[in-house]
Structure 1
């Protein structure tokens, strides 16, 4: 067939179709996308690199999978905690949930702005050691907070705590080396250790048998002990009998080796190893009849050795509020506005306005409170006539005092004779939390005014005590501690009026105990209902 016999238009049409078919083949032959290989029509963004290798972006956020720490989640590269995982898919830390980036979420972090992954909290308060200016909770600061929110150590020379991890409010430093006796392995500085520091930062006495100092507060590098009784000659007068240099046995000498009085012990006949002296008059609190030096006695010397509380004495034994303070605004001469027996100068709560409930400053100790995780327990071991099976002395339904229904109650029953029968109800925090010392405890008891009429609050038949790690700290009858009171008042409990026994504290605690017992000639069946035990999680200041 000759070309000149073909139809020229037909030849041109055939050529165009062949060219179009070639273009379609090229578009699918190398796997590139319709828009030049930058993004597939499905948005997956899988294309080619300049070297011809494949590039994958599963989430389509513009960051290749091999560079994307969140390959399956769209993200913008923000990594607030700098852990290498973008916030968009960081399960542990997202955005502002962990401000200090220590791996502990803000709501659980006891120092949310200062990194402390170990969450160490020596005094078991609301703040971790890293952001607690008083780490051991003894009232003496060991850190200063900077304007930018960071903290720096406060040297002992500038008034800082000389034992920042061991409570020692007295700051006693026998050898004057800037390290308090409580955490100084060689308290008297004679080169012979008297304590051993454990790996957890606590200290234990090093016995003489193990090479410890036989006079821990009296320098005696030679450790001479003439009578070999374990007490060095330096702190023993005759080498044979009880050492008169320390007559009260508190470890602080009051006589030298010649028998002359020396001024080391501020209460030479009453044991007071901490040497607390609130008014700085050189006389320790335990033997000072007027601890705040305001002219109103808080003790009376009924014995040459023992100082006992004086009934009707100073209503603020640690805070001056005597006649010479009458001109101070809000203080006056023993002024007691709410009539609770605690002077305004040191009263941390107005009894007339006291309230306890969820959302109040004073909250009930509940099992459901994760910060407290309260448990209730009973001690009937000292009940009278236990053979009767607790019929005359018992606590029933103790769990009701820590449940969320504040109308529920535990019942305490006791028949007492000469103080021979005792029963107690204890509510304790089990989470490791300890309440601050400057506090007010409110025990909600049905018909508390009836207890007053029965005289249970005045003759020791009923008392409230605080404990820390199982050790009694203070009791409402004044046998332990001071500046304590126990009254019946009206307040709120879960929106309902209830009567409270109010107990003002000064020492840290993790447990509260309500005790029926004490000396009574005869008490027929004492019975009362306890609804709840309330306290403040933060320190309560004087208004």
Structure 2
């Protein structure tokens, strides 16, 4: 009887061990030593650099998708199409444990398809599926073989779009629903490559010489009218500083031999517009025309302003890094203000309020200029920023590229008068910054090295500058 109980106890112990080894939980699982693996096949860690997660980088792995480094697991005898995916699951762990050995793996074993795309999820890869979208119509007879709803352009297979409800974005410039990288004509609604081929777009900048005869241009009476303002010179930005319809890339307004797009002073053959602003130019920001300096306003008919915010490396909660009411800086009311706040540790985090010429305007501010920033509580700001290279900073930009930066990133041309003097009337007060390069945007930001700043705040009521070149000395 004792022997019987002992044998029964051993059987129960062995059964418990086997059950533990085959549990779906990794805790307590015995890694099979007979395999000789140097990795745990039950705890694979796939990544972009190690597809099968076996600890061997793709660049050194004999089989990218099969755990282990045995070339026999993915050679031509087991991978008929040579795409790295075996036709069937091999007899190794973890496939033995999961009862997957010899089950189909490659969903198109005779057609290379490393990514194993399967749009309709029927187990047959798109590379060999006679009905890719699973709508019951074979690809050859399907007007939209990758769209089960058949809501596509039957000529191209691309999605349909409403030409009167386009939604342009940076990744879809024409707003027709197809990203630029996939669109044969990124700036022309639709997917007809003839609209931007060499005949339609001789300079190859993606903008046809004339508007094609398609909607919405037909309804807008633009079809056949000039589109590219430099039809024979590539200029995808369509810059036109004087708004005369001729692009800067093919116009030399001042006749000095430099086209406007590369001329620092396109309306001045002496190029003196880049000269330093004279000391005796008095800064006074008004809208009555009595001064050359005026606020950047959303309602400006010549250079309408818009705002944006830029936050980088906020180490704490984003509630402690940001800009409140950014549009208050361009509303024309000097009693309202946009507030920039930032928790700055070792100069890592940066919060910027950008004021730029609106996208629908081609206006560019002249180079010899002054920027006036109307602040609330300026003395405190100066105290914060003087001795630690932190606090308020200003930079100018043109077409998104930094031109001058008080933080020192691009150098020396920005004269930081404002950090040593305050100009203006008793109230309001301005910090002044000199510029010597053209710009279409100004960023006021909290940044620079500080050992620690628990919370840095300052309020921007108004941003002012001149629309015309200032007089030379």
TM-score bucket (shorter structure) = 0.3 to 0.5
Identify which of structures 1 and 2 has the higher relative contact order when contacts are C-alpha pairs closer than 8 Å and 6+ apart: 2
> Given the two structures, how large is their TM-score scaled by the length of structure 1?
0.38
Larger Rg: 1
